[in-house]
Amino acid sequence: MPRSCRASKEGLKKAEKAFQLKGWTQEYIAGSASCTRQTVSKFFARRPVAKHLFQAMCNELDLEWGEIAELEPEDEQSSSKLGMDTEREKTCEVLQEGPKATQVLTSPVSLAKKQNANCNEQLVITFTGDIETLQKNPAFQAAFLSMMQAVSGDTSLKIEKIEKGSIKITFSGSKEGLKRLEEQIKSGELTEVLGMPVEDVQLLPSSTTGEEQDKIRLVQEIIAQGASGRDLSDTNLSGVDLRGTNLSNADLSGADLSGADLRGANLEGADLNCADLSGANLRGADLNGVSLHDAVIDEATIISDKWRLLWKIVNQSSKARNLSGANLSGANLSGADLSGANLSGANLSGANLSGAYLIDAYLIDANLNDAIVENALFGENSELTEDIKRDLKRRGAIFEDLPGDRFRILIPYSG
């Protein structure tokens, strides 16, 4: 069940029309839908937002959310299955290299179905090759399966699923047959099948559902390859062990990371908007630049005081808040309302303050070195020297109380 939704192209047109008719601001919708302005911006940018917030915004606009949401097509990679039954009934001629020239192998369907009826074992083998060779060539499919049955000594072996990358094939069969295949691949005895080199093999735990098996494969892939910049939005990663994993700049918006072990993980620049981090362990994780708008964090979430404070700032009103001496270096505070806040002596070096509201904020001795201040709105900050103001303006900041900057305030920030 998807945890997030995004607007379709036609749905967005309806939403924008309703928004214009209402005459509201994004801040007003955010308040009425109990979310942040950044989530509203994502809604109107057709990016995924948490389903309950998507529905809440549609309700505020007097729209039926089902007519606005984009229906996601089924993932071809995870739902592509081979219709092999007809071919299994045929006698297939298989060409093998070596002393045994041509063999005729028969796959008795009735026996296969009987043996697989109570079978939970599955084996995933990754091959190098063109996936269309298997998907669009029934004769080759049958020959390939017959070869694997012969190698495993298991006539009940069948193909459950084919996925890209390179070619991932999930087999089901008897425990003994799948184990035999795994051992031959790991020992180097079986290195290719019908000209397709074997890259990897994974024996999945028994008694797991298809969804759980997909989750296991995804986690193994993330651990082995990392997931820097990868789209993992709306993914179920609850309870998984991703310690030390590279997830920098990954899109984890709407992902279920409840109970996940993310100790020491690199989450720099990751999008965790609307992600469920309840009970997750983030001790020692790199959260510089991470976006936490509408993320779920509870008392059981293990996270440093610095990043818990960031989460509170972006999800709760921080007007006139006392943040004196706070360490917010590298924090993503884009669009945050910090008007009237006491930021004296605060460390904001390298922080993302783009589009933030800092009018009447007290910034004496605040460290703004290397902070991103594009479209950040300042004003009534008398403690800032003229040199600091000029430097901030040069970097894209807007000063509401300076000549020439007023017209820029009318341009809304949509980051």
Contacting residues for 206 by C-beta, under 8 A, at least 6 apart: 120, 121, 175
Give the structural domain span for 36. 4-68
Instruction: Kindly state whether residues 265 and 348 are assigned to the same domain.
Output: no
DSSP SS3 for 376 = coil
Residue at token pair 């040199």? 387
Instruction: Kindly state whether residues 163 and 263 are assigned to the same domain.
Output: no
Count the domains in the chain: 4
Instruction: Kindly state whether residues 127 and 181 are assigned to the same domain.
Output: yes
Separation between Cα atoms, residue 53 and residue 41, nearest integer Å: 12
The CATH code of the domain that includes 36 is 1.10.260.40
Separation between Cα atoms, residue 208 and residue 120, nearest integer Å: 7
Boundary-marking domain end, from 154, 182, 204: 204
Task: Report the Cα–Cα distance between both ends of the chain, in Å, rounded.
Answer: 29
Burial class of residue 302 in the structure, from the number of CB atoms within 10 Å of its CB (0-12 exposed, 13-18 middle, 19+ buried): middle
Residue 168 in any domain: the answer is yes
Boundary-marking domain end, from 68, 94, 110: 68
The CATH code of the domain that includes 262 is 2.160.20.80
* Partner residues linked to 202 by β-bridges: 124
Instruction: Kindly state whether residues 325 and 307 are assigned to the same domain.
Output: no
Q: What is the pLDDT along the chain (415 residues), one digit of tens a residue?
A: 567 788 999 999 999 999 999 999 888 898 888 888 878 888 998 888 888 889 999 999 999 999 999 875 443 333 333 343 333 333 333 333 333 333 333 333 333 333 333 345 788 888 888 777 777 788 888 888 888 889 888 888 888 888 776 788 888 888 888 888 989 998 999 998 888 899 888 887 665 566 777 888 889 889 888 899 999 988 999 999 999 999 999 999 989 999 999 999 999 999 999 899 999 999 999 999 999 998 999 999 999 999 999 999 998 877 889 999 999 999 999 989 999 999 999 999 999 999 999 999 999 999 999 999 999 999 999 899 999 999 999 999 999 865 555 444 444 444 4
| HSE-up of residue 9 (Cα within 13 Å, Cβ side) | 0
